[in-house]
A and B are shown apart, each in its own frame.
Chain A
């Protein structure tokens, strides 16, 4: 296991929110997918966005990264208003974030090495040997060093997600966005992926936003921590939860819940209750 990602990482120093949405609305040829959404992600905070499929969770992540523009409202990333920012400035800002897409979104014509090192290769600041070393380090973090020269088509679904996580981590992002990283995977592989996300959260302390509709993954994130000595994810003492991991829930385009695990479990909102049951 490599912890050098930790040593080189520089978290945001101020208390300004890493992400902030203010009254954001977006629609696609119909009723709003997201309607008047406001929330914040603080430094070192991990936010889990819950909700049924097709409710606009992925749209929210793409809005945060400037891949989509809202119809109304403001989106602030690292304090910069990105709703009206031109694409060229957005590209530079996006390079400071890491995003894991729903199906991995690996470039199928490139090897794992070129996929993971894509950002470094495009920046042209490092030599090939330096890029190889960084790619190996990132692949080691997700336990897939042996896939260095393989193409994505020869990897399993779970391996592709892990490679996607390695690609998102390689440039020491200041914010991580996970779009249903366990969607469509079997329970064992899902737990491995969640374990990696918990490891990233506890080792590197990168603020992150994780989209999922799987309650089990969300609760595991909140009730487990990464034990650096054992090199694995372990449950926290009974009754304890990670204080920096909080929840949001979307339904019908509205943010119907924003709070801690305890508040989620005791929510009186009928949809939240139904979702939890």
Chain B
């Protein structure tokens, strides 16, 4: 009995991975064959990009601030509080800016995509769209994927910038250190490899968020309860995959540009 359950689960996992791979690949490739729904791309960019800016801005600012608070306490033991700017900027740009923005956008948009598409599936709107001769993958999924990739790139830059500003606010107003020193340390310690690492990651994270959100939405079964289940699965899976992908990308990029 246990072996049967294990066998069934293993098959289910393999099938899901196979379905996801086909789904994600087709959605990505749709950009290179007409029709391409540019107006839907712009609309989704507005919903995902402009709609997420406040949460990204706030989370970036306070993450930078808390990094400055924590690091100053440790660095003061070595008499190195002057390098707080370097610590905050490198941490934000190489890691936290991209990962935090990815997780925040995942919570907001992967859930919204899964629930929106899931509701359309259970009310037969997706079938109606196919019956009317329109490919839902092209119309609904591809614009969301490209909008998330491009918007996450810019949102990460915003999070990085506000993170450094948050660190500066704490350094100047709470730790009473020199702001010019903070910014010059933050600037001088940055190299191309750091910026590249920080800006390559959101491209992958954006793809993960949108493809997972849409995949679970389009695979919804079981009515409104199923929509709730898809939403949870989309957020959990995309958040975990972002962290796993972050490790893999960091590992690969460090092998190209060792610190």
Residues of A at the B interface (CB closer than 8 Å) are 62, 65, 67, 87-88, 91-92, 94-95, 97, 99, 101-103, 105-108, 118-119, 122, 167
B interface SS class = helix
Interface string of B135-154 (1 = CB under 8 A from A): 10001000000000000000
Q: Is A91 touching B135 in the complex (CB atoms < 8 A)?
A: yes
Q: How far is the CA of A102 from the CA of B124 in the complex (A)?
A: 9
* 9 A-B pairs closest in CB distance: A95-B133, A105-B128, A105-B124, A99-B131, A119-B132, A101-B124, A91-B133, A94-B133, A122-B134
B207-225 contacts to A (CB < 8 Å): none
Q: How far is the CA of A71 from the CA of B129 in the complex (A)?
A: 24
Q: Is B127 touching A91 in the complex (CB atoms < 8 A)?
A: no
Q: Is B131 touching A67 in the complex (CB atoms < 8 A)?
A: yes
**B18 contacts across to A, CB distance below 8 A:** none
Chain A nearest CB from B61 CB (Å) reads 34
Q: Is B128 touching A99 in the complex (CB atoms < 8 A)?
A: yes
Q: How far is the CA of A118 from the CA of B130 in the complex (A)?
A: 12
Q: Is B128 touching A107 in the complex (CB atoms < 8 A)?
A: yes
Q: Is B133 touching A105 in the complex (CB atoms < 8 A)?
A: no
Q: Is B134 touching A105 in the complex (CB atoms < 8 A)?
A: no
Q: How far is the CA of A119 from the CA of B130 in the complex (A)?
A: 10
The residue of chain A having its C-beta at the shortest distance from the C-beta of B33 within the complex is A88
Q: How far is the CA of A118 from the CA of B131 in the complex (A)?
A: 11
Q: Is A118 touching B132 in the complex (CB atoms < 8 A)?
A: yes
User: 19 A-B pairs, CB-CB below 8 angstroms?
Assistant: A65-B131, A91-B130, A91-B133, A91-B134, A91-B135, A92-B133, A94-B132, A94-B133, A97-B131, A101-B127, A102-B124, A103-B123, A105-B123, A106-B128, A107-B125, A119-B132, A119-B133, A122-B132, A122-B133
Q: How far is the CA of A99 from the CA of B133 in the complex (A)?
A: 11
Q: Is A62 touching B134 in the complex (CB atoms < 8 A)?
A: no
Q: Is B125 touching A105 in the complex (CB atoms < 8 A)?
A: yes
The residue of chain A having its C-beta at the shortest distance from the C-beta of B116 within the complex is A109
**B123 contacts across to A, CB distance below 8 A:** 103, 105, 108
Q: How far is the CA of A107 from the CA of B119 in the complex (A)?
A: 11
Contact of A94 among B124, B125, B131, B139 (CB under 8 A): B131
Chain B nearest CB from A29 CB (Å) reads 11
Q: Is A108 touching B125 in the complex (CB atoms < 8 A)?
A: yes
**A105 contacts across to B, CB distance below 8 A:** 123-125, 127-128
The residue of chain A having its C-beta at the shortest distance from the C-beta of B26 within the complex is A87
B85-130 contacts to A (CB < 8 Å): 120, 123-125, 127-130
